[in-house]
Amino acid sequence: MADRAVGIPIVKEGLPFVGGLAGSTLLCVLGGWTIPAVVSGGFLLFTGWFFRNPSRTIPQQPNVVVSSGDGKVIAIEEEFEPRYLKEKSIRVTVFLNVFDVHVNRMPCAGTVEGVSYQPGQFLVASKPEATLRNEQNAVMLKTESGAKVLCVQVAGLIARRIVCWVGQGDRVQRGERFGLIRFGSRMDTFLPLGSKICVSIGDRVKGGETIVGELR
């Protein structure tokens, strides 16, 4: 599957917000309304920053798994994943605050075996119970070696829209952009037991660039 967001400085899902605020700011300036213009301009700058779509240097080492999102590693847990993998795995959770890049990237190359959207609550994404209770979208990947890697977009307290650009049967590449979550959220990546974990809780990571694990 071709990476549909390559070369675009702002993802297209953000263009209506940026365009609307740009129009509002311009009207305020033309009308001589200084304070509304400043406020609208501030929201315009924040919105453009939020929907930014930076390029990344994708690691080329074999078998490595990269972070699916920008943010802070808040959990590394060995646990049973009951809905999709139905087996024990290692969950690496990255929390994205409103200032992080929210474009999501594939953790590894492979074939999309399934995409499953789950409506739910909008608890603070850093809470452990958000793993099962929040609105989310799960993407199941199978590598050429047969390893199963699950990538889950989890909405947060402010987020109200999960976007996913891939579907079952798509061939994807490591670091490829595949979606985004609007506005604060988290990414859960489930790796097979025995995988080498290359990050620690508290680490700051970059989607598509930081190696979080190595498949064995």
Q: What is the pLDDT of residues 87-114, one digit of tens each?
A: 999 999 999 888 888 889 999 999 999 9
The C-alpha atoms of residue 14 and residue 125 are separated, in whole angstroms, by 21
One domain, residues 190 and 105: yes
Q: What are the tokens at 165?
A: 């650009």
Q: pLDDT tier at 201 (50, 70, 90 boundaries)? A: very high
Residue with structure tokens 């297209």?
12
At 198, the amino acid letter reads C
The predicted pLDDT at position 47 comes to: 73
Instruction: Show the CA angle centred on residue 124, arms to residues 108 and 49, nearest 5°.
Output: 65
Same domain for 38 and 126, yes or no, is no
154/72 same-domain check: yes
Residues 156 and 106 in one domain: yes
Q: Write down the pLDDT at residue 13.
A: 72
Examine residue 59 and state whether it is found in any structural domain, yes or no: no
Q: Is the pLDDT of residue 189 over 70?
A: yes
162 and 139, same structural domain?
A: yes
- Per-residue pLDDT tens over the stretch 120-155: 666 666 666 666 677 889 999 999 999 999 999 988
CA distance 179 to 69: 10
* Domain around 205: 64-214
Percent of the chain with pLDDT over 70: 87
Q: Which residues pair with 89 in a beta bridge?
A: 79, 192
* 81 shares its domain with 31: no
Q: Residue 160's domain is classified under what CATH number?
A: 2.70.70.10
pLDDT band at 2 (very low <50, low <70, confident <90, very high): very low
Which pLDDT score is estimated for 202? Answer: 96
Number of domains in the chain: 2
Give yes or no: residues 27 and 73 share one domain.
Answer: no
Token pair listed for 215: 């498949």
How many angstroms separate the CA atoms of 123 and 154, rounded? 10
For residue 166, which of 125, 101, 110 has the smallest C-alpha distance?
110
Query: According to the model, what pLDDT value does residue 1 have?
Result: 54
State whether 26 and 117 are in the same domain: no
Active site residue 185: yes
Q: Is the four-CA dihedral 79, 178, 206, 63 of positive or negative sign? A: positive
Q: Comparing C-alpha atoms, which of 81, 110, 109 is closest to residue 93?
A: 81
Whether 81 and 22 map to the same domain: the answer is no
What pLDDT sits at residue 101?
Answer: 85
First-to-last alpha carbon distance for the chain, in angstroms, is 26
Q: Are 116 and 127 in contact (CB under 8 A)?
A: no
pLDDT of residue 53: 83
In a domain, 20, yes or no: yes
Q: Which residues contact 6 (CB under 8 A, 6 or more apart)?
A: 55, 177
CA pair distance 127, 93, nearest whole angstrom: 11
Given 67, 68, 185, 195, the catalytic residue:
185
Least confident of 35-44, 87-96, 158-167: 158-167
pLDDT beyond 60 at 52: yes
| 146 and 192 share one domain | yes
pTM: 0.82
Name the amino acid, one letter, at 194.
Answer: G
| Residue 158 in this model has a pLDDT that exceeds 70 | no
Asked if 203 and 119 sit in the same domain, the reply is yes
What is the C-alpha separation between 81 and 104, in angstroms, rounded?
A: 21
